[in-house]
Chain A
Amino acid sequence: MKKIKLIDIAHGRSGDKGDAANIGIIAYDENGYKIIQKHLTAERVKKHFEGICFGKVERFELPNLRALNFVLHNTLGGGGTVSLKLDAQGKTLAAALLRMELEIE
């Protein structure tokens, strides 16, 4: 087992859809995509965002783009102009996900 930092193998972008945030994570190469496809599960992401995401996490694969898309429900404090959060649109959440470390074989 070895630990790798997600930020070393991927980049991404996040935004809002109502009170849900979406986070797209893109691997820099095919090998990186194999790693995130295997290890970056919805459960792992849900656990990572404990205290931030209060709903379910959906996960979608876009292999052509070497990317995964996550939709985090109940995450933005009401979303849009209702939210009192500084980051009401979840713009910094992709960076927050890149803080993750993955344990791989």
Chain B
Amino acid sequence: MKEKIRIASGQGFWGDLIDAPYNQVFRGEIDYLVMDYLAEVTMSILQKQKNKNPELGYARDIPELMKRILPECKQKNIKIITNGGGVNPTSCANAILDVANKMGIKNLRVAVVIGDDIKERTDEIISAGVLLNNMETGEPITKIKDKILSANVYFGAFPIVEALKQNADIVITGRTTDTGLTLAPMIYEFGWNKNDYDLLAAGTVAGHILECGAQSSGGNFLGDWKSVPNMADIGFPIAEAYPNGEVIITKHENTGGRVSFETVAEQLLYEIGDPKNYITPDCIADFTSIKLEDLGKDRVRVYDVKGSPETEFYKVSCSYSDGYSSSATLTYSWPEALTKAKAADDILRKRMENLNLQFEEIRTELVGYNACHGPLAKQLNEDDINEVVLRVAVRSKDYNSVERFGKEIAPLILTGPPSVTGFAGGRPKPSEVVAYWPALIPKKLVEHQVKIFEV
């Protein structure tokens, strides 16, 4: 057994710094590169791409990235784990093998984890008596069943562990929990068991710290953010994991950013509910048990994490089409910037009313005045404001109303209050609103499969 392994976070979401995974591979020692590409909205986008072209449906940044890092990873035996397979992990694996072939890389084993996609099985599952009621509202899925765009189960770490046991160099999954990507190599390398709940929880906590990329190494840090050094060259976090479940969060030397008690604590609090019950497919982690020790020099020890048995359910995330939305902005300058923006909003609403456009919601925000904090924003002297951005957004089931809204914005420049600018991007187009339907499904109804491809 290895004494320790270094697991590097290469991506906090699809669209994160393109060079981050490259830097993790080239600027220091690591054993694993883990990359989270999937937000809930990403799955529906990928599903749409796959509907148009059955070869697509995965994060297309991955083959490009492989061109840059594959030889180095192969040479140093750095394994890569990512959920960027989206709704088509097999095509993603094939694209990687293509890259390997073209570069003359031999003996590369790419594993895919499939079985998470249950979109085609929803009828079968419902008739088996699993109602897939909305976890939050309790509503039955029949309400939206015909509008479902994607339906995926969240797998945990163990399917990835299976792939690693089959000597995979790269593991591509679909909808796997972000935390599972980091936990899996710890289970594999240290021989942890399915009922080592404290250890599984420790790995899960490490995964939570890594899953949003540099958000634990100095990015988006609300503490003393101005003192975070060299954010232009921010180092992404690395979990140095030990067999007893202890983890040291750090980053490569000579990179920017900061790993401290404060930066790690902020990430631990990110997007959690009841901290005693952080539920994953692998275990339930107790975030109140976590202890942090700031060792200095960008090293934070995470220890004493407690866990308990997993539940009998997987979470399912369904996305469904729920109408259209659009937003637009115009900028008004002094004098009376705010008064002008409010008047323009009134005029716009009056015109849309006269046109009998149908909206579920029209939302007006004054960016630069109170868009973020609403009634909590500091009251400013309205006449002194230098400029303000009027932002209007609409949502409707009626496509035509949303489209017409887009045509009513630009005319305000010549037919409304003065000293207005900032409309150069053309008419805003309606975009499809994709809503989420979280549900639970008994684990026994879903089976994962691991397939190996190699060159």
A contacts, CB < 8 Å to B: 11-13, 15-19, 22, 24-26, 28, 48-52, 58, 60-67, 69, 71, 77, 79-82, 84-87, 92, 94-96, 98-99
Contacts and interface: CB of A to CB of B under 8 A. Distances in A.
Nearest to A51: B375
A24 B167 CA distance: 40
Nearest to B392: A84
A26 B273 contact: no
Contacts of A16: 271
A82 B372 CA distance: 17
17 contacts: A11-B223, A15-B271, A25-B269, A51-B374, A61-B288, A64-B289, A65-B292, A67-B268, A80-B434, A81-B325, A82-B435, A84-B363, A84-B394, A86-B367, A86-B372, A87-B371, A87-B372
A18 B136 CA distance: 9
B372 A17 contact: no
A27 B136 CA distance: 31
A82 B433 contact: yes
A26 B275 contact: no
A69 B268 CA distance: 10
Interface stretch (B81-89, B153-161, B259-267, B443-451): B259-267
A13 B272 contact: no
Contacts of A12: 222, 266, 269
A22 B290 contact: no
B266 A11 contact: yes
Contact of A84 (B40, B41, B393): B393
B265 A17 contact: no
Given A15-B271, A84-B325, A52 B290 contact: no
Contacts of A48: 376
Given A16-B271, A24-B272, A95 B222 contact: yes
B395 A84 contact: yes
B401 to A, nearest CB: 14
Contacts of B372: 86-87, 92, 95-96
Contact of B376 (A11, A22, A81, A96): A96
A63 B222 CA distance: 19
A15 B373 contact: no
A49 B220 CA distance: 22
B290 A65 contact: yes
B228 to A, nearest CB: 12
B287 interface: yes
Contacts of A11: 221-223, 262, 266
The 3 closest A-B pairs by CB, nearest first: A24-B269, A84-B393, A11-B223
B275 A50 contact: no
Given A22-B273, A60-B274, A80-B41, A13 B220 contact: yes
Contact of B373 (A24, A25, A50, A92): A92
A15 B262 CA distance: 17
A104 to B, nearest CB: 21
A49 B287 CA distance: 26
A18 B365 contact: no
Nearest to A73: B136
A13 B391 contact: no
A80 B274 CA distance: 20
Given A80-B41, A84-B325, A84-B394, A69 B269 contact: yes
Contacts of B276: 60
A65 B269 contact: yes
Interface in B428-448: 433-436, 438
Interface of B: 40-41, 136, 215, 220-223, 262, 265-276, 287-292, 322, 325, 327, 361, 363, 365, 367, 371-376, 391, 393-395, 433-436, 438
A80 B222 contact: no
Contact of A62 (B287, B391, B394): B287
A22 B265 contact: no
A58 B288 CA distance: 16
A55 B206 CA distance: 32
Nearest to A12: B222
Nearest to B291: A64
Nearest to B304: A64
A15 B270 contact: yes
Contacts of B41: 80-81
B273 A71 contact: yes
Contacts of B375: 50-52
B433 A62 contact: no
Given A15-B270, A84-B361, 20 more contacts: A13-B222, A18-B436, A26-B269, A28-B223, A28-B262, A51-B374, A62-B269, A64-B291, A65-B268, A65-B292, A67-B269, A69-B272, A69-B275, A77-B363, A81-B434, A81-B435, A84-B327, A85-B393, A86-B365, A92-B372
Contacts of A86: 365, 367, 371-372, 391
Contacts of B267: 13
A5 B369 CA distance: 22
Nearest to B276: A60
Given A11-B222, A13-B222, A99 B373 contact: yes
A67 B267 CA distance: 12
